[in-house]
Chain A
């Protein structure tokens, strides 16, 4: 095959391999066909034009467009009547992709017999490339190095120890290491020093909290119902369950099964029942006047969508209104999945505040339940009471309840809904629960309910669940997944950069009996992860997103970790784990200004809990979290773009939490036995950034300190004002002007790029 001309529109933007490889149908051709052609020539029969479909091998072959010159003519013609995609279709086919298609046609339009999209073929454990150097730490590195060699790149050296412990401590616990932890690691010369750190972090209760966050965002966890008046609900008991399950390292298959079907297990109990709250985290409409039947459909569809994104990496929602435009998921497939979730004993309209049935009462002793209390409870059925003239509301669950799943005795009938509308069922065929045929077979011994669905998801032959899950773990540590589109493994998703590594990790995950901690350990102990994140100039142009991993990850902290780090390093953090959500500082009138609810801020220690416990009002989420790109918690989100805005600078400079934390850390610095300003600042610097400042850095900070000290000595009233920020009382034994000056310098350190970054 002749080499393709490489059209480099812009060397900065496209990562291009050095040498063009021969065209591969699944990797090179189908993504183009899908993106540019499937809208009219794809799986959706209603949208199909000219009876031509290019998603199905035999139909496409039979049409003859590949061999009779028609497709070639349509690709190369400049006649708007002829040219494909039509200029008025808003489909864009880049010159580069067009020439790829032309090239493919010229070379015989090879379309393999087994043309299944890669992600629908169950992963098989690939052969591990032979280790070639001392660099490789584990199997991951063998795959990474093979690709780097192919690209004629070399890996980077290992990050220095201070950087490494900071990186891994953030990734596994969401907090930085303490000075003692950093120094102990630096001084530990044993070859197992790093492994010991990783083991310590995996055993820390902070691990479960931090790992829960991605799950909370994806499962749209919140403290309110999310519509209109945004009534409150009580789901923190489920969050407690989640943190504990992660800390206990519950095997992932069990973890998922309990959440999907903890009420249907033979060994079900109160805890497995609480786990099903996962599928009740969706929004519930309590707006007066809503039509109940309409909203039950929304809740069930939301469960299907969430399952699709989190476990299958598929955009199932596309099939809610019509056959999927790109993936072989028919509209009926959607409603067959829908049927699994359509039997919950729930109400269409939510109550005015409180949990919506089904819910169970949580014993006071939670989470330390007696044997009796730990038994499964049958929830009270829905009891509708009509209020106003005709608003049908169910009974409301009190603060000591938690929402769960519970099956109706008599299942609801499921039909395909035309255009996805609740009032347009296609009554010609009643649909039974079933999974899409493209995603593997259904075993006869699986029950046709959510328990069976969970068994199907966690089956070792399932093409997607393990891949999608390890990919999100990779995303957690490296910033981007091996499949960048971690929410979409379908035909329109991005191909994996390292397909064999992805499959190896997926199969290894299963082989390790779905052991999450073991997988995290595997990743963070790899040489790939441990590389320095310094960007070599040639890599900056070649691979700005670091997809090839010729260096370590450098990424901004999550919004939660940013606030938690300020609290932790200053000494303000209240480390309590679990319990109801808390209400830390918010701007004045945060709720009142646009809603009919008022925010009542907590006092004392509850102001300083980790950010994952901050009360999440869905329609007005905590602004500091949102400014740093948290997910809104309205629908399932597994990936957010991190962008940099001036609002972030304003938060770090001026927000009460960060100003108070700077002042509190200043108090601690002034109480140290050391008294020389530069030594105090050295200590502060190390506390926040896990390393010693350079001489230059220290000089800048000391000069600032002297200047501010001079300012505040002249204007002691300003010093007092600054110290008044926040509820925490100021230590009156310390000099106000000195304290204020230190607080400003510490604020500078909090604002450094490095303070909110994992190098």
Chain B
């Protein structure tokens, strides 16, 4: 991995060792470097000669043809459709289509050759005049056919230096904090810079002064605490919190408040939402089936916890790309948080397109969210604005190509394993005590079931394990997953190197494959079926001898299929493949279909006091067993599943059926080099990319995140196109401040809270939001930050704030979410909005199960994204349907009533105090006399509930100001 400062400074010195410096066209190369093509290394001497000869042919024969017939549009000074034919590098890079003009030795797939030989007049080149002569074509043909292979990466000099002359691609600068306004010519006399100010204010005031603007005065403490609460926690402060802050006269009262709010866990719930928007997190698949992902929520909790713990941002990113390599597999939920089309078809085009879309989602999200680069634009052609080639896109695809969607089992934590051991011994102990009272000592194992069957035995060494089915409930046997446990770890998984063979497999069904038996995935869609009715066997070969003590298997763990179940079977193990021992079988099970009588204990013979004692013991035993069962459930999470990467090819026009040359894993060439080749493992690829993205020399990552933080505090970032720092994006309003903050982030070891703190302590943040006519005229959009511009809260903060002020907000954190819908469980899921709400629905909205397409019926329309695509900044639209929802929905009417009831309860039915309390709760302030009178008059006629309904709908409640 490397960071090419070279491309940012000069491109004259090639980094790669060039094997054949030809230099024939050096004088014509735009970059002044050598016009070389990096040809494959390890060529024997003769190959060198061939290569040199080939370059010679280009110079003497082919290039003159191009010069005569093509240079008008595709020469050194013109590049119609991005194509130039004057140098080998340019030819190799090709035009906007991303297609290299030629592929060595392959005229059939050489795009340029096709265009000069096609009979289609709409396609043929040159477009005007005669086609190339037969002789010219023959010369070009033989030149292509004799071309030596070249390495898959473009050589150094193919990077156009001009394309890199863009602010965000350059290294971070270290701007000095301006402490004087001398630099400004037209400083008005009444503008002065506060030289003791927070550095942020120095940068901001400098630009304000240039515009003839000044900061608004600092807002009142009441406004500030409300702003901080809504901004940092997403809920308003209580009356007592406001009062105690207002009464705190110490100089550092504000600073201490900032620190306490940053330490408040609600911070992660508020700011985690922004990250989840950005990484398009949702808990259904999307598309027509839109199935639930019931175990996607741990990723949401991971994000919240990471922010609350102020996990260094570089580590946060690395974990999301490669957390499986860092002991945080949950974090890789990031990779697969996007949509996924699960409709299966034997149509290969469809299947390949679906996979391309999954990978595109990962590339596009990583590019925009982490780097502020719209990499997805290069899927079908070279990027129109940024120096991102189609090859770059597929190099990134090669990084992600081992990533698969799905559930992933998490290893049990050490604490949990210890707890399991403790429970097991407690159970043994109690069972031992109770043993004497067993009414039926002769226990038989339960009959097999369709979902999950377990086998337990003394720890046994095994290198091979064979599961033989002797009889089924009918038809060929099906097993969806065969798990073999050593120390509670499933050692059968293919990802751990276990190989599998079978007696034969049912042909023709992609969902039924031998590989599914140890892929860690449950259900009919990932199962094995034998090719012989009633019988069949599978054999696992572990990579080494393991000591196993349990097996679990089933026909369909998801419980939807009730057929093809093995009713008679045996399981054997061997260490040498010669001597086999049966370790489990159906022989000691009840016949299929018979219910297991539970073990009975008989205390009838005992005196009552003793009997009560033993019954209590029995209760305890049952409780312990339930606890054990709960603890032994393997936790699953919807996160990255990783496989050996398949070769990746560049796809002409992004068409999955038009594979071109193979591409090695890498990042965008103009920014760096992961120095990997196709032999790199999936993990190496992702780890390298993660390290490259979070390298302190990466000019984008730190800038992009500090811009996002600023944006969420102020409503707008310095760069108003927060996920596009490329040339089509907008340049920063305050480039120096942006770099200053990015540097500060790096100096503080990527601590996001350190940046929040610096921003929140600035006078710029603490300004009042009041408009002033002069400033409105100059800068109504508040680009130069002369005030804190008011803005409507987002959907989640509105809902959370309502629940907070009515007093019913359930602030319990984490775990599975609550649903806004009643779900119709069909193949294609349908989500019907709930119409009755209770305390289960009153958690913070970040815990509302995120369903794609269908939005919460009240708050969704407040521009709440559905997770279909990355969203860096929400729209803020206003529509009558929002008003109807807030004014009429059962949810809101219920909350209005709850608020009214609690006001009555807490104020001894004194109307004025009720109104005052409502104002404090909803607006964090006392009402003015006139407001009390208006409210009293209204309440007298229409009641307190109607008053509360109006308050919860009002602008002052819904706006941060």
Q: Are A and B part of the same complex?
A: no
Which residue numbers of A lie inside 8 Å of B, CB to CB?
A: none
Which residue numbers of B lie inside 8 Å of A, CB to CB?
A: none
